[in-house]
């Protein structure tokens, strides 16, 4: 009787928060496609599935997931058993529930706590649970040249199931992750999936002297540190050469921004100084104009007093003159009759002197009044001059203020913000380059320790090579897939044990353009699944591919451009015909063929609140988003 094939498939992925609307995406057997606009959360789904299958935190911070504090992943075994895995968005251990729970379980629902750390001594961990579902429980894989082994962890095979957009375009083999200390374990895991045979039978005969034990402890510490650094490097997702080129571009941009910022600062300072000067001039002018108005008002009253005094004095002058003409009459000074008038201390009776004095006083007042008229004319001219010039000053001030407030200040603020952002980005890139340098230094140290151990260890005959027959059968599975896809110049495919990668029509897979590396990486991953199912060797049974059709979207050369071929149609045609014991999730920006769009397990992320699904997380209008902070 044939033993049933073990494995499981994804059923749903959900994000939940106390004040948030749930964000859920569902999956089914066979082909699943998530396609549509960029920046809608498609790649974040891939990252989250990996996180829920034991990937190390932190989960990437994106604005849309703020307020969500837990994640549920529903899975189904090929035997029909249903489970829900619960984890905090911050990481940590898992809660395992029987059955599918599309909302966080509450109350008396029974749950089992699973550690996030793999252990072969205690099965209460997620890795052991997933390995058991996959038929890989209790397996061991070789970890170094001395034939020492480690317990197989689900993380050893996760990279062969979940292929991110970054990994799918790498030049290195899909079996390698950039950390050569893990290459042996990666190859042993690949061999285990191809053959179904693990490395439990290996026995290490290396001497365990105290000095070697010390080196072993150092190697273990370096391995732990390297794992942590490698996890951080995965977040960077760029090669050091790309980072150095990016740093050069950032520094060039910073220099340009600095020049623009300095020029804009100088212009702002110049215009701000002119604005202060005009404001001071306008204020002083208005104060002087106010003073002139006050002076003219007071001088007008003074002129009226002068006029009144002259009028009074002229009356005295005219009266004295008439008295002299009329002859004898009562004295105009004391009122005495001529017969009784007494000249002396009481009244001299000299009207001529009084008339003369009045005339002299009139002359003095007229001189003062004339001088006052000159002063009034000068003040009037000065006031008129201010009245003519002030509107021009006001107009220039308003124009200058408008230019500063509406153009220069916003531009300056934008340049400052951009400069600060570039400066922060430069710091991040420098930190990333420093991280790469640290990893390289640690890998050199580890290699030196390995060499020292190998030099003192007894000769070993253990080999980690993939058996030729299994490797050839796997290569034939990939060749069948590429032929089905109408891959240009597919030709003969074989597995190169030295590079641990495919050679297609005589050309190494990694030597092709980025777009073709993506599609052939997908073929590698799908070929492994097809081989395992055909050979009835263990495999979880699902694959997630992020952006395999990159050559249809971003060709980096004529060789990469597949847009004139029917490879995309054939790619989806192959996946549409997969048996139900296999599940493939394709994440793409480009639209699939119309026939594929009509399938039930195909979903478009539109980034349009009025058409289709906006994105992974519910659409929130900007005003509401602002209110939520």
**Among 127-136, 271-280, 291-300, 317-326, whose mean pLDDT is lowest?**
317-326
Q: Three-state DSSP class for 52?
A: helix
The domain made up of 256-421 is a member of CATH 1.10.287? yes
Residue 206 has pLDDT above 60, yes or no: no
pLDDT in tens, 286-307: 898 899 899 999 999 998 998 9
**Beta strands of 396-518 (E only): which ranges?**
493-496, 501-504, 507-508
CATH classification of 8-206+458-628, choosing from 3.20.20.60, 3.40.640.10, 3.40.50.620, 3.40.50.300?
3.40.50.300
pLDDT at 180: 64
Question: Contacts by 576-582 with C-beta closer than 8 Å and gap 24+?
Answer: 576/30, 576/31, 578/30, 578/31, 579/30, 579/533, 580/29, 580/30, 581/5, 581/7, 581/29, 581/78, 581/533, 581/541, 582/29, 582/30, 582/529, 582/530, 582/533, 582/541, 582/542, 582/543
pLDDT at 624: 42
Cβ burial 416-446 (10 Å sphere, 16+ → b, else e): eeebeebeebbeebeebbebbeebeebbeeb
pLDDT at 555: 65
Would you give the DSSP letter of residue 593? P
User: How many Å apart are CA 479 and CA 501, to the nearest integer?
Assistant: 13
- Pick the most confident of 133-142, 422-431, 553-562: 133-142
Report residue 537's pLDDT band, with 50, 70 and 90 as the boundaries: very high
Bigger pLDDT: 218 vs 187? 187
3-state DSSP of 154-212: HHHHHCCCEECCCHHHCCCCCCCCCCHHHHHHHHHHHHHHHHCCCCCCCCCCCCCCHHH
pLDDT in tens, 137-180: 999 998 877 778 899 999 999 999 999 998 999 989 999 876 66
Q: Three-state DSSP class for 533?
A: helix
- Domain ranges for the chain, please list them: 8-206+458-628, 256-421
SS3 content of the chain, % helix, strand, coil (to 5): 55, 15, 35
User: How many Å apart are CA 113 and CA 102, to the nearest integer?
Assistant: 19
């Amino acid at each position: 009787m044939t033993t049933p094939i073990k494995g499981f498939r994804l059923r749903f992925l959900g994000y939940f928060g106390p004040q948030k609307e749930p964000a859920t995406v569902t999956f089914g057997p066979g082909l699943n496609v998530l396609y549509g606009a960029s920046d809608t959360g498609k790649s974040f789904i891939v990252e989250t599935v990996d996180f829920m299958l034991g990937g190390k935190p932190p989960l990437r911070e994106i604005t849309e997931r703020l307020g969500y504090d837990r994640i549920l992943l529903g899975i189904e075994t090929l035997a029909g058993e249903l489970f829900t895995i619960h984890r905090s968005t911050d990481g940590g251990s898992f809660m395992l529930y029987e059955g599918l729970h599309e909302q966080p379980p509450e109350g008396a629902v029974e749950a089992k706590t699973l550690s996030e750390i793999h252990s072969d001594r205690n099965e209460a961990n997620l890795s052991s649970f997933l390995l058991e579902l996959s038929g890989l429980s209790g397996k061991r894989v070789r970890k170094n040249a001395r034939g020492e082994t480690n317990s197989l962890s689900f993380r050893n095979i996760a990279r062969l199931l979940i292929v991110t957009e970054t990994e799918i375009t790498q030049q290195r083999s899909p079996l390698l992750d950039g950390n050569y200390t893990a290459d042996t374990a990666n190859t042993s895991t690949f061999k285990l999936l191809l053959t179904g045979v693990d490395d439990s039978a290996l026995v290490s005969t290396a001497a365990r002297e105290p000095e070697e034990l010390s080196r072993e402890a150092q190697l273990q510490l370096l391995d732990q540190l390297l794992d942590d650094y490698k996890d951080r490097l995965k977040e960077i997702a760029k090669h050091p050469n790309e980072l150095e080129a990016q740093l050069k571009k950032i520094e060039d941009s910073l220099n340009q921004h600095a020049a623009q910022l300095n020029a804009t600062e100088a212009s702002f300072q110049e215009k701000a100084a002119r604005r202060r000067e005009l404001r001071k001039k306008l204020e002083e002018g208005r104060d002087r104009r106010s003073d002139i108005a006050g002076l003219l008002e007071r001088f007008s009253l003074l002129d009226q007093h002068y006029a009144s005094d002259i009028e009074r004095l002229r009356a005295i002058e005219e009266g004295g003159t008439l008295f002299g003409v009329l002859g004898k009459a009562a004295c105009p000074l004391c009122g005495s009759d001529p017969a009784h008038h007494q000249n002396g201390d009481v009244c001299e009776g000299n009207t001529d002197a009084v008339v003369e004095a009045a005339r002299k006083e009139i002359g003095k007042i007229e001189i003062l009044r004339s001088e006052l008229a000159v002063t009034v004319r000068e003040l009037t001219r000065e006031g008129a001059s201010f009245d003519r010039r002030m509107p021009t000053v006001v107009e220039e001030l308003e124009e200058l203020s408008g230019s500063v407030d509406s153009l220069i200040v916003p531009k300056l603020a934008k340049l400052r913000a951009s400069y600060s952002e570039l400066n922060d980005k430069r710091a991040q890139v420098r930190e990333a380059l420093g991280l790469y340098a640290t990893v390289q230094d640690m890998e050199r140290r580890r290699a030196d320790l390995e060499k020292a151990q190998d030099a003192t260890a007894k000769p070993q005959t253990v080999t980690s090579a993939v058996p030729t027959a299994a490797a050839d059968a796997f290569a034939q599975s990939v060749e069948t897939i590429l032929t089905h896809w109408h891959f240009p110049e597919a030709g003969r495919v074989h597995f190169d044990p030295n590079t641990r990668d495919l050679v297609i029509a005589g050309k190494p897979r990694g030597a092709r353009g980025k777009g073709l590396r993506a599609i052939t990486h997908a073929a590698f991953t799908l070929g492994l699944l097809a081989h395992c199912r055909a050979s009835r060797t263990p495999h979880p049974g699902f694959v997630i591919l992020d952006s395999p059709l990159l050559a249809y979207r971003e060709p980096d050369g004529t060789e990469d451009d597949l847009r004139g071929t029917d490879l995309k149609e054939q790619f989806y045609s192959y996946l549409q015909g997969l048996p139900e014991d296999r599940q493939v999730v394709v994440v793409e920006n480009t639209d699939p063929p119309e026939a594929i769009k009509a399938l039930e397990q195909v979903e478009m992320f539109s980034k349009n609140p009025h058409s289709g699904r906006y994105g992974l997380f519910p659409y929130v209008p900007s005003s509401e988003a602002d209110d939520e902070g």
